[in-house]
Structure 1
Amino acid sequence: MSNIEWQQRKEKVIARGMGNLAPIYAKSASNATVTDVEGNDYIDFAAGIAVTNTGHSHPKIIEAVKAQLDNFSHTCAMVTPYPSFVELAEKLVDLAPGNEEKKAIFLTTGAEAVENSIKVARAHTKRSGVIAFKGGFHGRTNMCMGLTGKVAPYKAGFGPFPNEIYHAPFPNQYHGISSAQSLSALNDLFASTIEPSRVAAIIFEPIQGEGGFYPAPKEWAQQVRNLCDQHGIVLICDEIQTGFARTGTMFASEQLEITPDLTTMAKGIAGGFPISAVIGKAEVMDAANPGGLGGTYAGSPLACVAGLAVLDIIEQESLCRRANEVGGEFKRRLEQMQSDIAAIGDIRQIGAMIAMELNDPVTGAPLVDATKSLVQAAAKNGLILLSCGVNANVIRFLPPLTIDQESISQGLQIVNNELQKLVV
């Protein structure tokens, strides 16, 4: 069957709220190439939204999961756990930022990790308020939508959201929001809306993902850490998109030189097998009562062995270093494009988390239609590309960290060719 035929079948049975980028139906995938049901190959600059950091179908992950399947697929870790459940936790608490004693819980999705981080923070502090940031994205469940600072398409039509959630502006140099302004807004919240003694947690992404790939300035993050220490507030770093070597370090908060109280993880943790985690200071993590945390599929045995394989691959193939090399090459090529294409207003790159923001060169207005058209044109020309941004005018590049140089060059040539048609 063709891609279009599969799309027609999908539209009859899948709710329209669960859309897809383009009618590309995958049959197989290897490293940075996806092959559809018609036999067409696509260079993958999305990696399943930063999930397959180790590339599609890495043989070490396949081998580990196949071996686990021969033993069992599920027992529920809260009923009869298994060695890989403990082994993965041991490795992650060692790798997570900070030298303090740490503990972990496993879940299934990133949204679950965020929800449970809030539960843990509230149990530890005996407080209810939570502060998040405009432009942040934390998931699609009700609590996570409340935390998310981007309306379309994530929050529109789905309210009301939980109360006791407050938003402050995120520092954004390109859009004229300084660290000082963001910190002032936080202090204004404390003075006018909720006293700090009622705030359980402050949550932020070290690099905003869906919001547009805007990095948190180091000095700002350190001041937020100081505010949390001053008022007994739990600091949560949402590393769901930034973790597992994506930014050139295992976790992006390492580059901010802060230690979160809690870190949420998912996406790249297991090469495509569903698992997420909350890892943090033991005294905070142990605040919840037995049975208060978990889930039927939490810490799936298939995902745990995949996660152990991912950690080995990151170390053995030096993927933190490779992320910086890949990102550096993207930045170099995009800056060359920028010299010819005035609509490329800004380029942001930390590791292999790269963004290109498209704005009208005269008015500065976001080029929403051009961004959408570029994503669609890329798909028609053999490139899987994603957009993001509060204003829907950012192209984000999230290639597998194992991508080869030829795929980078070919993919970026497609971007250049199609963007020239749209905006020059």
Structure 2
Amino acid sequence: MPSSRFHLINRDFTRLWTGQAVSTVGDYVFDTTLTLWVATEVARGKPWAPVAVSGVLLSVGAAVLLVGPLAGVFVDRWNRKRTMLRSELVRGGLVAALLLFSLAHGLPVGLRLAGIYLAVFALNAAGQFFAPARFATVGAVVAGEADRARAAGIGQATTGAASIIGPPLAAPLLFTVGVQWAMALNALSYLFSYLAIRSVRVPASEASAGAAPRVWRELGSGLRFYAGHRLLVVLLAVSVITQIGMGAVNTLNVFFVTGQLHATSGEYGFISMAFGAGSILGALLAGRAVGLVGARSAVWLGLVLTGVLVFGYSRQSSLLTGVLLLTLAAVPAAVLNTAVSPLILGSTPSEYLGRVIAVFNPASQLAGMVSVAAAGWLAATGLAGFHGELAGLHFGPVDTVFAVSGLLVVLAGCYAAVALPRRSG
């Protein structure tokens, strides 16, 4: 447990963060190891191995889209600290069960894959209860727009750091000691998170449990609240537009780097590391940025700057300038993502927070999934072989998608500047 002498914002947030940091690293190790395990062992040598791997990602998406909105109803009625604790125990138990399942080597491949998909779905379904409960708890133990932005920034920076630390650990664990050790590590990370959360002091008004919810009625009530709240509707619209733009960049970036930036596939890692470093820097600066200009301005300015830099990235032809532009783009992107949290917390009554997050996150993820599919189709078929000139600039298939993506994000920023209400309440 963290020492009382070390506080990021306050004692309770520090303990929440400590649990998050350990469990997030465990999740990245587990996710990467699971992908490698399916690709290199479970479906080894099969022509449908890529489809088997994509099944893992589809299981994650299905949990978010199917369980997420309903989970928000229960989170708004249940004791939120207890919800987090039980979610961690359930997730730890599911990983332990998958560990035992992985030891059954004689099972048919189809049955092994079905077990993996079911476990991944259940893990992420439990996560749909944990995430909004944690979001609401952070809002309860951290007060003020600037500190809430700082808390969101620390959380985002932690996730970014885990995405850099976790995956490189996965391959050595899998190929030297086996997939079971990665699963054991993840199960222990959930136990650590459970112990950290257990020591958090939650205000009495947030800790009390409500009556059993009437699920469909209360889901409808939450949707009506969301639809009638201008700030939340604008934030969701902005998030969807941004996901569409940035999802295309994430999907096609490897082709842009190896094509237009004339880099090798081995050098692609520098781009990923650069974006991760920029994201961490932006997340850590977010609290100060929100304190200077406010969360509202941080959102629309971050969108405009990100879009301009992504458009500039689309025009690059060397790896060095590409790395520089994408690193710079990651900074305002992280700031705007972080600034959204205090806006939602400041404008949403506590009894609706679970349902609000359960609408916002799945809708944003769905937009990202649509963007991934659309970007792949455009680059492979719709814009295949495309070459054009505009204002003296040459455009090919992938950089055209990137340029349009950057412009979409700029338009989202302009829309946010006009449509976001001056006051979050």
TM-score greater than 0.5 by the shorter chain: no
- Structure 1-normalised TM-score? 0.26
Identify the structure with the greater helix proportion: 2
